[in-house]
Structure formats: structure tokens, C-alpha cells
Amino acid sequence: MLTIYGVYLSRASRVYWTAEELGLPFKSVKVTQARYLKDPFAEDAPFNTRSSDFLAVNPSAQIPAIDDDGLVLTESLAITMYLAKKHGGPLAPANIAEEGQMLQWTLWAATELEPQTVQIVLVHDAGQEMSEGGRKTIAVASRMLKMPLSVLELHLAGRDFLVGDRFTVADLNVAEVMRYAMGEPKLFEDKPHIRAWYENCQKRPAFEKMMAGRRAEAAALSVTE
């Protein structure tokens, strides 16, 4: 069975969404990020990214990771691509050309979008979006996103999805990276094609199952805090 190490409130969300899209049974092992713990090495610390048993899975001390019948993978976007190709169906590339296109968009998201979108979500997560420093960070990230978002908007003109005529792992990967920036709706005011595409991605039942996991974790955190 597929084992997913992580929490829903992390980049593991991409892997959980992929597993739900593919209808895969999986075991979820909760691994707390060590940076959120006062002392991740304490005897009573929850299983976390600095726990010795997890470091045996991923020495980089990062989530997510998977163990798929003995195959261990540790990079979220590589994991989603692997699962899609292994299990096939509409999520996966139908030929080598589509595989190249899906890799292109996935790597594009990681290099052109995520360095900036993650800056935006970190400001919002810290509740600093109205502070002077927070606004400066968001302004810089937004400026850096102007060209890549224009590229994506142009590509989506006249099509519903990134590759082929169906929702694929490329859409999932890019949408998950894009989600970090959705706290700044002004970025998308003149991007109707991106907005429509993104809304379609989030209407999927598998996405909602993943988001239910995120909401449950967030609710549990608010109780413990």
C-alpha cells in the first residue's frame, strides 16, 4: 500500500489530492514540521521531521515523502508525476509529447511561480499582510509574478486545461502552487482565463476531499492552541 508521510497543511496536500484523484488507498502517517515544535527532540515530542524514524525515510527532514511498496520518494511534485504515470488514466500523460508538456508546466510552476507565491502565503499565514513589511514583501512578489501570470493567461486563452483537453497532473501541480497566491485577488483581476481554470480545478471532488483534511487539521490546531 501507498504510505504518505506528512500533514494536509503542507505541500503534502498535492500528494493527497493526487491520491484521491486516482482513487488510491493509502496510509497517512502524520509528520509534524519540526519548526513548529518547541523541542522536536523531546521524549514526548510528536513524530516530526527531526524524528530518527522519519529521517530514515527522508534524511532531508522535509515532508511530504512516500513509500510505495518499498520505493521512497521525497519531492512533492516528483511524487505527483510518479503516481499519475504509474496508475495511468486521464491524469497521466497519454504519450511522450504530453509527458514533456506536463513536466514543462510542473517545473515552470516550481521555478517561475512558487518562489514568489510562497512569499505571499507566508505573509498571510503570519497575519502580516497589512503591515508595512508584509505589504512590501507582497508587492515585490506580485511584481515578479506579473510575467509568469501573463504567460499562463495567454496559454489558457481558448482552452480549459494546460495539457490536452482534460484535467491532468499538470493542472493539479500548477493549481497547488498557485493557491499560495490566492490571498491577493488583485493579482488575478485582469486574468479571467486563470480564474476560470482555477475555479474548475477546485470544483473537483478529489480537491474537496483534500481540503476537508486541511480544514480538519486546522480545526484541531485551533483547539489545542
Single-letter amino acid code for the residue at 195? R
Q: What pLDDT digit, counting tens, does each position of 138-176 carry?
A: 999 999 999 999 999 999 999 999 999 999 999 999 999
Q: Is the dihedral of CA 135, 192, 177, 150 positive or negative?
A: negative
Helix (H) or strand (E) holding 29: strand 26-30
Predicted model pTM: 0.95
Q: What pLDDT does residue 221 have? A: 78
CB burial class (10 A; 0-12, 13-18, 19+) of residue 103? middle
Q: State residue 184 phi and psi, 5-degree precision.
A: -120, 75
Q: Which residues contact 54 (CB under 8 A, 6 or more apart)?
A: 5, 31, 47, 48, 61, 65
Q: What pLDDT digit, counting tens, does each position of 179-210 carry?
A: 999 999 999 999 999 999 999 999 999 999 99
Average pLDDT over residues 97-101: 98
pLDDT confidence bin for 224, thresholds 50/70/90: low
Tell me if 66 sits within 8 A of 5, measured CB to CB.
yes
Q: What pLDDT does residue 209 have? A: 98
Q: What pLDDT digit, counting tens, does each position of 49-93 carry?
A: 999 999 999 999 999 999 999 999 999 999 999 999 999 999 999
Average pLDDT over residues 5-34: 97
State the Rg of the chain over Cα.
18
Residue 63 to residues 50, 118, 137, 151, 179, Cα–Cα distance (Å)? 11, 16, 25, 30, 18
Q: State residue 32 phi and psi, 5-degree precision.
A: -75, 140
As a whole number of angstroms, the distance between CA 51 and CA 44 comes to 11
